[in-house]
Amino acid sequence: MEEINWNDFEKIEIRAGRIVRVELFPEARKPAYKIWADFGELGIKQSSAQITDYYKVDDLIGKMIVGVINLPPKQIGNFKSEFLTTGFYREDGMVILAVPDGEVPLGAKLD
């Protein structure tokens, strides 16, 4: 694992958001959803997430998430991903979302 310094970490904008819209992403190479999340004053941003094994569309609407919002946009097929949805891989390959343990303001920064 490569070590980073504290200044590098402080550059990362890790923010709380709430999923407001989810669509299937059939054009993706691996099963994925298109996700739109509200980050408060930072606006609604979109991302692609390979979380279809564990989550259903209806389970995701309204869910709080943690996203990295200051990476450059990434074109995934015909969709532009504007933030990185964070999660953890389990041993079986499923991804479990990283989420706040309670309600926090939309756009709150992880410090």
Distance of CA 50 to the CA centre of its chain: 10
Q: Is residue 92 a part of any domain in this protein?
A: yes
Percent of the chain with pLDDT over 70: 100
pLDDT tens-digit map of 30-66: 999 999 999 999 999 999 999 999 999 999 999 999 9
Q: Is residue 107 a part of any domain in this protein?
A: no
| Rg, Å, the chain Cα set | 14
With H, G, I as helix, E, B as strand and everything else as coil, classify residue 48.
strand
Domain that includes residue 26, residue range: 6-97
Torsion angle of the four alpha carbons 16, 22, 28, 31, in this order, in degrees rounded to the nearest 10: 90
Across the chain, mean pLDDT equals: 95
Question: For the chain, what is the domain count?
Answer: 1
pLDDT tier for residue 99 given thresholds of 50, 70 and 90: very high
Q: Is residue 108 a part of any domain in this protein?
A: no
CATH code for position 12:
2.40.50.140
Measured CA distances, 82 to 54, 57, 64, 91, 110 (Å): 23, 20, 17, 28, 18
